[in-house]
Structure 1
């Protein structure tokens, strides 16, 4: 096992990202990472195998529990986001989503079961089969909102993203104004005609893994509140490189409409709302390639409503 100081020395790219996104909170997090690892591996009787190869906004270690269970120790900057993730993972209770074993929300620390062999859904190359497996996971993780919790409404998040985008681009920007207005209308429509449940918030090919005992399972929920059709959009705007966009969207959405109780208008309005919200977030990061793709998708979705 590597020394804790070495384990708590993540790649420079990860460090820069944490500082850019979280500022002083990210600096405090990085400075205390070694101590956090030492504390929780000792208190919870964990043997560290090593860090995960791909780090995004959380430091992730593969561990073995005292009883031999393989787990994942996930250490986040303690925020509303990390608390909502823990709430959502606990609410799923291991049904359709990797089980939460232990957590300390105020420290941003959670221990999750490790799925094995852990192949991502992206390894299924056949679009129809992959979408059918996605639909099975989507159906399995439908839940009411946990009692007594304040999960963020995705509609409110969208309206905030649109307001921020307009303020940052008063003369127009890479996301067309007509798309932003349409997305606002779609969120209002969903609030009136849809229903509110617990959303995973980031359900796509990389966040669905194969477990040898239970089949395909979700990981890493964001934990939003909103219409369940909103959980379809992230899958649709992922894994599109090198594929004919309109044909791929047509196939994926036809499978969803054939297998899921969402209805055509709910599906496409939810997809417009979520895709434009994501495009506005991409504008904050300067991701023009992602925005151009999402603009094309929004125009295609709009065409399906006519």
Structure 2
């Protein structure tokens, strides 16, 4: 980490020279690296992004290349060895600015549909993980002191077996929360920072539900509002509503049993998991 930070000025200078651009704004740091606003030789603005070294595989450039700007930020240049990429410039305005939760849910669902392209080789597949959860969830619940009702866990296990074993060979963003959706100029909304996984479109639903958790939970009829938002997502993504509900229940169950003591959870995953158990 320290070595990377010390080399960062030199590396960024080399990359900007190679890609014919110059700094055009203040450097911004995030948990995954740094971004530098730049101006290209033709006068257009772009962003140089350099990711922190990590033991985890980085599939961002691969996924952005496959998408080719369809529903996502456009990848202009890449250096996989350095974990660097030159990206289209987007507005510094995210989906968080949209007050209507159903509108924002529809935006996410629409992006999920547009980003669902055939997966390239090398991306992690979700199928094997959910086959394993089918075997492990009941024991995990017992070790957690039955954090969830048995019927809730049973519903998740059934979904693992019914839905998890045969998932489509489709690219998913993997972390499509509201701050990973920015205003664009080519299109109104564009996704950024994909993790890159392969599986069922419906698995993406829970991530954005969590963004509006506090407001959702304070609705007069929170369970009804929860199901309504899943329906909005499913309609926009062109997927079956019941499939979206079952995947959301399953993902919430897995999340709470993997991390039963989560100070940032506030009861969210346990509530979603039980509220969606039929």
TM-score interval w.r.t. the shorter chain? Answer: 0.7 to 0.9
Q: Deviations over 1:232-285 (max 9, x none)?
A: 2211122323432435423311212444332133212221333344445656xx
Question: How does the TM-score come out when normalised to structure 1?
Answer: 0.76
1:162, distance to aligned residue in structure 2 (A): 9.6
1:154 maps to 2:126: yes
Measure, in 2, the Cα distance between the counterparts of 1:156 and 1:84.
19
More helix by share: 1
TM-score (structure 2 length as normaliser) = 0.82
> For residue 241 of structure 2, what is the aligned residue in structure 1?
264
Q: Aligned partners of 1:173, 1:32: CA distance in 2, in Å? A: 48
CA RMSD of aligned residues (A): 3.2
- Looking at structure 1, the residues matched to 209 and 233 of structure 2 have their Cα atoms a distance apart, in angstroms, of 10
Tell me, yes or no, if structure 1 residue 223 matches structure 2 residue 200. Answer: no
Q: Which has the higher contact order (CA 8 A, sep 6+)?
A: 2
Structure 1 residues 28 and 91, CA gap change in structure 2 (3 angstroms) = same
Q: Name the counterpart of 1:3.
A: none
Instruction: Give distance in 2, aligned partners of 1:173 and 1:63.
Output: 53
1:62 to 2:37 alignment: yes
Question: Between Structure 1 and Structure 2, how many residues are aligned?
Answer: 272
Gaps of 5+ in 2: none
- Match for 1:114 among 65, 71, 89? 89
Contact 1:155-1:187 within 8 A present in 2 as well = no
- The aligned counterpart of 1:128 is 102
Alignment correspondent of 2:159: 186
Distance across 1 between alignment mates of 2:33 and 2:153: 30
Mark the CA change 1:247 to 1:103 in structure 2 (over 3 Å): closer, same or farther. same
Question: SS at 2:20's partner residue?
Answer: coil
| Structure 2 counterpart of 1:140 | 114
Q: Give me the whole-angstrom Cα distance separating, in 1, the residues matched to 2:179 and 2:2.
A: 28
Partners of 1:108 and 1:208 in 2: how far apart?
21
Find the residue that maps to 2:13 and give its secondary structure: helix
Q: 1:206 aligns with which of 179, 198, 201?
A: 179
Gaps of 5+ in 1: 1-25
